[in-house]
Structures are given as C-alpha cells and as structure tokens.
A and B are shown apart, each in its own frame.
Chain A
Amino acid sequence: MNKRITLHRDLPKCLTGIRGLDEITNGGLPKGRPTLICGAAGCGKTLLAMEFIVRGARQFKEPGVFMCFEETGPELAANVASLGFDLPALIRRKLVMVDHVRIERSEIEETGEYDLEGLFIRLGNAIDSIGAKRVVLDSLEALFAGLPNEAILRSELRRLFNWLKTKGVTVIITGEKGERTLTRHGLEEYISDCVISLDHRVVNQVATRRVRIVKYRGSAHGTNEYPALIDEEGLSVLPISALGLNYPVSAARVSSGIPRLDTMLGGKGYYKGSSILISGTAGSGKSSIAASFANSVCRRGGKCLYWSSEESPEQIMRNMASIGMNLSQHVRKGLLKFHSVRPTLCGLEGHLVSLHKLVTEFQPEAIILDPITNLTAVGDDAEIRAMLTRVIDFLKSHGVTAIFTSLTAGGADAEQTEVGVSSLMDAWLLLQMVQSASERNRVLYVLKSRGMAHSNQMREFVLSDKGIDLVDVYVGPGAVYTGAARLTQEAHDKAEALMQQQASARHERELEHERHGLQTKLDTVIAEQEFTGKLEQQRTESVRRIEAELAKVRRADRKES
C-alpha cells in the first residue's frame, strides 16, 4: 500500500513508521512542527508517541528525545519492551534519550515571577546531545497539575512551541481528552498544524480502538475514523476504507478441490482472487467444501490461511481427517495456517486488523473464513457488511482467493444470507439439506458465479471417508430424489429396464419363430410349384413322343407339327 503515499513538495513530512498511520496522514506528520495526539486514558497515546521515537531511530536514523512527565525512564522501557523495543540499547547507542520530568505540586511553592526556561534548557540540551530530529512530550498536561500559575504556563507553552519550531524538530505532544474539548487544558489552541485523536470505545462489551485525524493543516488526509489495533508489534492503523474498486483481476482459475464441482464451475473451478460464499444450514457441509479447497491449494504448494471462529485447529484437522483430508501435513510444511478465534475476543475492527496483519505477514494465496455469521456476536448486519466489504476489497487487492461460509438458520430463506453479503460475492454455492422419507441428504448447487458458464444442475453432495463427491441427483418425472430414495429409484429404474429388455427379447424371439414358420411354408409352396411344372413337362414330352410314334406307324407323308 506504500504506493498510496504521495509526498507533497510544499509540506515536508516525517514518516512515523507506524503501520497505516503514514497512509492516512498521506506521508507522515508535519516535519519540524508539533502534532497533538489526544485521547482518553488508555487509548494508546504514549505508545504511539514511543513508536514514533523508536521507529524513527531504528528505521529512519532519526534520533529522538522522549520527555515523559508521568512515567519514569525504566517504567517506560519496561512498558515498551513487550513490543520488542529495546529502549536501553537505543539509549546506549545515543539514538534515543528519555528524560523523566517529575513535578510534585506539594514540593513547590510559588513566590513571584518565573518562567519555564529550565524546561527549555533541559529539552534543548537533550536535543543537542544526540542531534535529535524527533521529540515527544508526554504529557505536557502534567505541568498544569504541577504549576499553580496557569497564566504563566500558557504563555510559556506558546513560547515552547515556537521555540521547538525553530529547533527544527518534529514533535508529538500528548494530551488527555477533556470534557468537551480535545484536551483537558486546551492544548489544541497552541498546536494548529496537526491533531490526531485516539479513541478506545466499548460497544456491547467489546472494545475497539480508532484513530482519526482531526486536522492537518496544509495537507490532504483521510478523514474517517480508522480502526486501530495494539498488538505485540505496536500500533497499526487500517486505512482500508480508503481503497477504491480498482484492483487488478485475474482470469486464472483455481481448482475447488472437488473435480465435479470444478466441472460445475465452467469446468475449471473458481477464479483466482475471487470471493466465494458458501451458505447452508447447519451440518450441510460448508466447512468440508471450504477445507477441501484449502487442501487442494496446499497440495499444489500454495499457502492458505484458515480463519475459524467456531472450531479449534485440532478439531478442524480431526474432522477433516475423517473425510480423507490430511490437513496436518500442510500445517507442518507451513503451507496451512489456522487462526482460530472467538468472535467476541475483540471488535469487528480488531478482527479486521488481525486479518490484515495475518495476510500481510503470511502472504497466503487463499483464505477461508469459517463462518462469517458468527461475527453477528460483535456487530450488527450493517457493520458486518461494512467490515466484510473492507475484507473483500483488501483480499482482492492482494489477489487472495477467499471463501466465506455463512450459516443459514433453519427455516430461513436459503437464498438469503444472514449478514446480507451475497451481493459482494463473486460466486455463491448453496448447500441444502433435502429431507426425504427418513433421511436428510446434502444437495449443492451454484447459485451464482460471475463471469463463467456455470452449471444449473443440482448435485447431491456425498461425504465419505474417501472425501467429497458430487453425484447426479435423480431427476425423474415429477420429483428429485437424493440419497436412499435416489438409490431406490435408480434400482427400480434398473429393474424396469431389465424387464423391458427381457420383454423385447422375447418378442423378437417370437417374431423370429414366426418368420421361420412362414419361410418353411413358402419353401413348400415353391417346391410344390416346381414339382407341378416338372410333371407338366413330362406330360408334354410323352405326348410328343406318342405322336411321333403314331406318325411313324401311320407312315404319314407329311410332317406333322
């Protein structure tokens, strides 16, 4: 996504190195100016500020000063050590300087005119000693608690920010959120260049972090609230909703792992990078179809991510082994990665961010989200739809083929998904349980598949220890049969056909017999006819002979004919 960063010539910016933040700020914080980070307690202000310093030192070779008014240096180092930031090492290498400023109101007595030159000198000395380019003041508001004279403080703060600008350092100032103002003591009135607000909201007992750029003078920036996540690698902000519908598409196909299903999908399977929805009632085999796709991807040597919100990896592997799929071998080879998580673990945004991270790190070719309907536990349909749109956009922009399974509640309209996402999908396989006689059978059909001539046929879907097979359903006059009924009907048909065959054979034999009889008769007639002819000839000859004899006897003088 780094393509999206466009540096503006007119306003120099300072990359933070924090995932996503540089995208939404269009290239970082204003260079050489102060930025205010505000938010309520525990929303990650200090963390963001610390990441700015540490990443600046590590990634951009820009030394930084972290002046903390609340925590001591060792406390701070311990807090960020869990994020893999080795603060003491950076301090030893003179890349970072942490200065703890302690103000105790009870120890201070005010006795006349003063200024904050001491703070200026301290900060100036820290900046000069390591050649700092970045400065964090966390949080200046402690000054308001520690120093009694607010008038002096305010004029000194104004002087401080002007002075910092002349030092050419990029500054982050943190401030606690106030009642109606961005910060409790109105720091925002001194910092007019860039204000970023952090938020940690709890909705339905699920907390979600959000980041918003309140203002950014002289620069284009994302204006939305962006979901953010703090994990073992620090803060990440997701600029997902900024993406447009302009990802490249592929005409390549990937096998679904079920040969007959590939046949149904125009003979070649899914489109690479498309989103496929598999919906069906409980137990209709959604996961099995999804897993067989995962299996086929891994067998080709591709990487697949399996996001499950229902079953543990072990359980999935055991269950799939029962239908002849050995997924554990792919896990061992590092081709298949499970991410099993209860939906209520974090908010939708949290899931979004973790998915984002997993995909970016693991770089899978395919991903399975099984099932998406469980997300209803942490958001309403509109939110889930918005989240899935982001997921789909994100996956498509990465060319990842995605399979989403969706549970259709029993009795609900099968052609309506729980979370209303079908229109976002490129292909939709519908699984149904067909009840007949005393059994339920699985039926699969392709409800839609964009851009391919897919089959309009229903197929019976049979799970056995050899895997998944699709069988033609029995489409007879007036009824569709599956399972035992199909077998019965097929057997019945077979018997009927045999009987018919036997009957026609018998009939043929009879005809043959008859033909034979007639032939014999005909032969007799012919023989009789011949015999009669012969007799006639003999008679004629004997008559002639007698006549000749007679003529000889009468000595006839003329020849008689």
Chain B
Amino acid sequence: MTKSKVKKAVTKRWQLRLYVAGQSPKSITALNNLKQLCETHLPGEYEIEVVDLLKNPKLAAGDQILAVPTLVRKLPEPVKKIIGDLSNEVRVLVGLDLRPA
C-alpha cells in the first residue's frame, strides 16, 4: 500500500488523506471502513490518498500526524483530523461534518 490514488478523479469535492503505518490491522481496518463509508455517503464525490509513514516518514510533520491511523479531510476546508480505525461510524460522520454533532 504505497502512496496511491484509489479513485482517479481530477478534482473531487472531497479530498481525504489517510495516514497509516505499514500493514497493521488498525490500518487495514481503517482503510476498509473509510472506503465503505465514502461509498455510502459520498458516492463519486471523494478522493482518497493513503500515506504510509513507514515509507515516507517525512510526511508525518506536514499534517502534524501523531496518531496512526489518522484521516485528514483536506477539502472541503477547514482541515479536519479524525484519529482511530474509523470503526465508530457516527463519530466519523460528525468529524467529516456529514452529520451535526
């Protein structure tokens, strides 16, 4: 799982970046949860970038990543950070502003 574009869209309304550390169970769970959630709530409107910090450790500083996995909502602004394996769907939706808190 390198830095790879899962959906090849030029400019989508939703730009999400998932930071992981290698193929840990938490990372895999997070990515699966994210894909499922996006397909349900944002079909066709999203773009996911996965960053493996073990391969690109320098990228951790840019988005101020401490916890792994971390999902960063780059667009729409403002930037939001969601940490954890995204198993709590309600909280993810709140974090992404898809549902009022």
Query: Residue A143 at the B interface, CB < 8 A?
Result: yes
A112 contacts B85, CB within 8 Å? Answer: yes
Cα-based distance from A108 to B95 in the complex (angstroms):
8
Nearest CB in chain A: distance from B69 CB, A: 6
Taking A118-B19, A124-B57, A125-B58 as contacts, is the C-beta distance between A111 and B68 under 8 angstroms? no
A111 contacts B86, CB within 8 Å? Answer: yes
22 of the cross-chain contacts (CB-CB < 8 Å) are: A101-B66, A102-B64, A109-B80, A109-B82, A109-B95, A110-B84, A112-B29, A112-B91, A113-B26, A114-B67, A114-B70, A114-B85, A116-B68, A117-B67, A118-B19, A118-B21, A118-B53, A118-B65, A118-B70, A121-B57, A122-B60, A125-B60
Top 5 A-B pairs, shortest CB-CB distance? A109-B95, A112-B84, A125-B57, A112-B87, A117-B68
Query: Residue B92 at the A interface, CB < 8 A?
Result: yes
Per-residue 0/1 for B67-79: is the Cβ within 8 Å of any A Cβ (1 yes, 0 no)?
1111000000011
Interface residues of A (CB under 8 A from B): 99, 101-104, 107-119, 121-122, 124-125, 143, 146-147
Taking A101-B66, A119-B66, A125-B58 as contacts, is the C-beta distance between A111 and B87 under 8 angstroms? yes
Taking A115-B26, A122-B60 as contacts, is the C-beta distance between A109 and B94 under 8 angstroms? yes
Closest to A103 in B: B66
Cα-based distance from A74 to B24 in the complex (angstroms):
36
Which chain B residues border A103 with CB–CB below 8 Å?
64, 66
Which chain B residues border A114 with CB–CB below 8 Å?
26, 67-70, 83-85
Contact of A107 among B24, B65, B81, B91 (CB under 8 A): B81
Which chain A residues border B29 with CB–CB below 8 Å?
112-113
Taking A118-B66, A121-B60 as contacts, is the C-beta distance between A108 and B86 under 8 angstroms? no
Closest to B79 in A: A107
A109 contacts B60, CB within 8 Å? Answer: no
Closest to B67 in A: A114
Main secondary structure of the interface of A (DSSP, over half): mixed
Which chain B residues border A118 with CB–CB below 8 Å?
19, 21, 53, 60, 65-68, 70
Query: Residue B11 at the A interface, CB < 8 A?
Result: no
What 18 new A-B contacts, CB under 8 Å, besides A101-B64, A125-B60? Answer: A107-B80, A107-B81, A110-B84, A110-B91, A111-B84, A112-B86, A113-B84, A114-B69, A114-B70, A114-B83, A114-B84, A117-B21, A117-B24, A118-B66, A121-B54, A121-B68, A122-B61, A122-B65
Nearest CB in chain B: distance from A83 CB, A: 26
Nearest CB in chain B: distance from A140 CB, A: 11
Which chain A residues border B94 with CB–CB below 8 Å?
109
Which chain A residues border B30 with CB–CB below 8 Å?
112
Cα-based distance from A111 to B33 in the complex (angstroms):
11
Query: Residue B88 at the A interface, CB < 8 A?
Result: yes
Nearest CB in chain B: distance from A149 CB, A: 9
